[in-house]
Amino acid sequence: MDLGEALKKYQELFPIYERGAKDIARLVERVAANYGITCRTSSRAKKLSSFRTKAILKGYDDPWVKITDKAGVRVVVENPRQVDGLVDALQATDLIHVLDVDDKRHTITPGKLGYSGVHLQVAAPSEEHDTPRIDCEIQIRTIAQDAWSVISHSLLYKGHVELPAKQKHAIYRLAALVELFDEEVQRVMDEVPHLPGYEVVELIEAAESEYLGLTHAPSNREFSAHILSQIQDAFSTEERPTYARTLNKYVGTHREELALLYADRGPDSAMASLPNYALFSQAESLVLLERLSYCPYKLIHTWDAAGLPRDMLEPLIDAAGVDSYYPE
Amino acid sequence: MHLASLRLRELILHQIASGRGNSDQPPLLSEAPTPLGDLDRIWLEDRLKRSLRRARPVEEDPELQGVRAIIRDNLEGHQSALVKNSQELARKLQATQQKMSPAGILLVANAELRSSTSLIIAKVELEEGIRAREDTTEKGEATLAVEYLRDLLFTSAARVYKVGIFPQSDIHGGLLRGYVADTQSRGTVVAHYFLETYLGCKFVERSELLTERFSDAAQTWINRIDDSEKKLRYQVALISELQSNKQSLSVGQFAYDHLDVDDRDEFKSEMQKSNVPARQFEKSLDLVKGKIKKVKIETQSDVWVVASPEAMHNGTVSIETTPEGQSEVRVLDRVKRVSGTGPFSHSEPVNSED
């Protein structure tokens, strides 16, 4: 297909690519959340003028086939391990079909300054669907790589001036800083989970992230820490690393019921004034509801052993209609 | 039952006099639904859920009378007739209940369960308590005055005594189905007058079948345990539970009384998969009698030890796991007789002269 035909076709399909890119960005966010990965996404369909310029500058004989980033999604994560995690997650999901993985961290020439994210060429939806299937390029980067990408684009690729040695040296130092930044972020993040008390912080963050989506209200962190630190025995060692995902799955499965429970008993409800209903105004209530659903014995045993008042837990048990498998 | 989805839409309360009969002591009937604020509604929902957790599935019995026609009428498009229907339900309850039944309140509510229109019928008895309030003495001193109250309902510790819920979506093969609990009765029994004479219903599942399912599912779960000492302990507990004088069985109570904390949730989950109900049910041994007399220990080398649960309890037979992971079964007793088949086809006392 020559440039004229390609441009005509792209103009017709442009709204589909624009909408498709947004859909894929949302899909990536969902997959990332399921794996406990925090990310920021942006999406775009390539402008017609950029499509034309790229085809001409690159001299493509079949621009429609050769230009694979007509739809593009950029994903920025916090650390290098999350880049790998998200790539794995996207390859594992059935929602999109990964056609190719281009890991720039491995392909750039040593010594050459370059951008070091990971690009995935995907097709979505993965199967026949009402929505037309489009191909899309997903770029996954760390925050540092993203910053470097933006700056280096101005400093290197658009520059038509041969940089003097002093400025070149400065650029090398910046590139090294990007790598150093990511390595240090990763190192600290790897060490933090081994610090005392981290498991409680992790639980609070997982709970708050889900709770905010249901109630749009913050809860008292000190109170959360007080409760969660005392029910640590309700979690097995194997459950801890993936608990955020477990909680996310629980909330996803019971979203409708939970929305009703919190609308009636949450921080903005008439019940908020009753002392025994205080937990409904706290994010950790979600963790308690999940544990009551999955391992009521262990939770109740741990709760009682910690000397926490049963009167506070009973409204959760009642409201959720937990089966009477345990003696009252 | 998905009790989390229970929502009250409209309810009406009628006062039921004590005893049976409606001529001398007719029920005091409301003529309009009870106005409900959010706090009242949610409080009532949570109290009802607490009682319904113990409910068992029931279905109407065509051979019984009761109020099933009124329930069906209310469910099948006549919810606006709640006042009229509930008044009739109150009159029938007054006429049906036992002579010794105390006075109470009949609650009838249009509700939703699993998004299905449902009708709740509950007999709630009045409770007593003391209320304290700020007061001043004649000398002007601050004090707390108390007031005795004997008409309390739905207190935080109370259960709604007799309660039934009938979702429209559960009507199956033309038969009304629902769930009924009687938290006032001993164990799992629902007062006969309430279930059969008043509601015109019977339990969907017979007690002997539930008992057999409990026994089989628990046995299957126990057999999967690797630790031989624990396996034997649980086996003895199961047989003891079935042989005991208790009138009811409960997954929760069994787990709580006999299993290690870390095993309870897995046990519950396995019993749930085998359709053993969460709620307590009456124990009936008709179908399991033959399975619960003896504990049998069978080893990989085809050695069998058969013992009574008492022998396990009093230490006559014990089992331990060796450091190598093998099981050591120990019988501390006097040998009375050895018998066998094949070359040892006759049996004789071991202390014979031969």
Q: A269: which chain B residues are within 8 Å (Cβ-Cβ)?
A: 38, 42
- Percent of chain A residues past pLDDT 70, beyond the cut: 91
- Residue with the larger pLDDT of the pair A196 and A263: A263
Is it the case that residue B73 has pLDDT exceeding 70? yes
- Residues A261 and A215: their CA atoms lie apart, in Å, by 10
- For A303-324, the pLDDT digits (tens) are 999 999 998 999 999 888 876 5
Strand A118-124 versus strand A134-142 pairing type: antiparallel
How many CB atoms are located within 10 Å of the residue B34 CB?
13
Q: B37: which chain A residues are within 8 Å (Cβ-Cβ)?
A: 270
- Residues B108 and B10: their CA atoms lie apart, in Å, by 9
Structure tokens that stand for A37 in this block: 């990965």
Of the pLDDT bands very low, low, confident and very high (cuts 50, 70, 90), residue A131 is low
- pTM equals 0.66
CB proximity list for A294: less than 8 A, separation 6 or greater: A250, B265
- For B8-45, the pLDDT digits (tens) are 999 999 999 888 765 567 889 999 999 999 999 999 99
- For A204-252, the pLDDT digits (tens) are 999 998 998 888 888 899 999 999 999 999 999 889 888 999 999 999 9
SS3 A102: strand
Per-residue b or e along A96-133, where b marks 16 or more CB atoms closer than 10 Å to that residue's CB? bbbeeeebeeeeeeeeebebbbbbbbbebbeeeeeeee
The whole-number pLDDT of residue A169 equals 83
- Which of B261, B269, B270 to mutate to probe the A interface, most A CBs <10 Å? B261
- Residues B224 and B230: their CA atoms lie apart, in Å, by 11
Going from the C-alpha of B69 to that of each of B64, B66, B78, B90, B193, the distances in angstroms are 11, 8, 12, 14, 17
- Residue with the larger pLDDT of the pair A127 and B99: B99
ipTM summary value: 0.75
Q: How far apart are the first and last CA of chain A?
A: 74
SS3 A103: strand
- For B194-207, the pLDDT digits (tens) are 899 999 999 888 88
Q: Is B37 on the interface with A (CB under 8 A)?
A: yes
Cβ separation A257–B54 shorter than 8 A: no
Closest approach of chain B CAs to the CA of A45, in angstroms? 42
The nearest alpha carbon in chain B to A295 belongs to: B265
Cβ separation A257–B4 shorter than 8 A: yes
- Residue with the larger pLDDT of the pair B339 and A120: A120
Strand B327-331 versus strand B317-321 pairing type: antiparallel
The whole-number pLDDT of residue A241 equals 84
Q: Which of B39, B268, B278 sits opposite A271 (nearest CB)?
A: B39
CB proximity list for B204: less than 8 A, separation 6 or greater: B56, B57, B58, B59, B177
- For B219-228, the pLDDT digits (tens) are 999 989 988 8
The predicted model gives B293-313 an average pLDDT of 78
CB proximity list for A89: less than 8 A, separation 6 or greater: A31, A32, A34, A35, A37
Is it the case that residue A13 has pLDDT exceeding 80? yes
The predicted model gives A282-296 an average pLDDT of 94
The whole-number pLDDT of residue A109 equals 55
- For A32-50, the pLDDT digits (tens) are 877 778 889 999 999 999 9
- Residues B139 and B145: their CA atoms lie apart, in Å, by 14
- Mutual angle of helices A198-215 and A255-265, in 10-degree steps: 80
Is it the case that residue B353 has pLDDT exceeding 50? no
Of the pLDDT bands very low, low, confident and very high (cuts 50, 70, 90), residue B318 is confident
- For A61-78, the pLDDT digits (tens) are 899 988 988 999 999 998
Structure tokens that stand for A154 in this block: 């101005």
Of the pLDDT bands very low, low, confident and very high (cuts 50, 70, 90), residue B54 is confident
Interface of A with B in 211-230 (CB under 8 A): none
Going from the C-alpha of B78 to that of each of A162, B72, B81, B111, B339, the distances in angstroms are 87, 9, 5, 13, 73
Q: Residue A179: what are its φ and ψ, rounded to 5°?
A: -65, -40
- For B220-277, the pLDDT digits (tens) are 999 899 888 888 889 888 988 888 888 889 898 899 899 999 999 999 999 989 999 8
- For A136-187, the pLDDT digits (tens) are 999 999 999 888 888 877 776 555 677 788 887 888 788 888 889 989 999 9
Q: B272: which chain A residues are within 8 Å (Cβ-Cβ)?
A: 323, 325
Cβ separation B268–A297 shorter than 8 A: yes
Place of tokens 């979690």: A235
- Residues B204 and B207: their CA atoms lie apart, in Å, by 10
Run of H or E residues at A141: strand A134-142
The whole-number pLDDT of residue B296 equals 76
Q: A259: which chain B residues are within 8 Å (Cβ-Cβ)?
A: none
Structure tokens that stand for B294 in this block: 């003896």
Q: Is B159 on the interface with A (CB under 8 A)?
A: no
Structure tokens that stand for A164 in this block: 């003097």
- Name which of A194-203, A212-221, A231-240, B71-80 the model is least confident about: B71-80
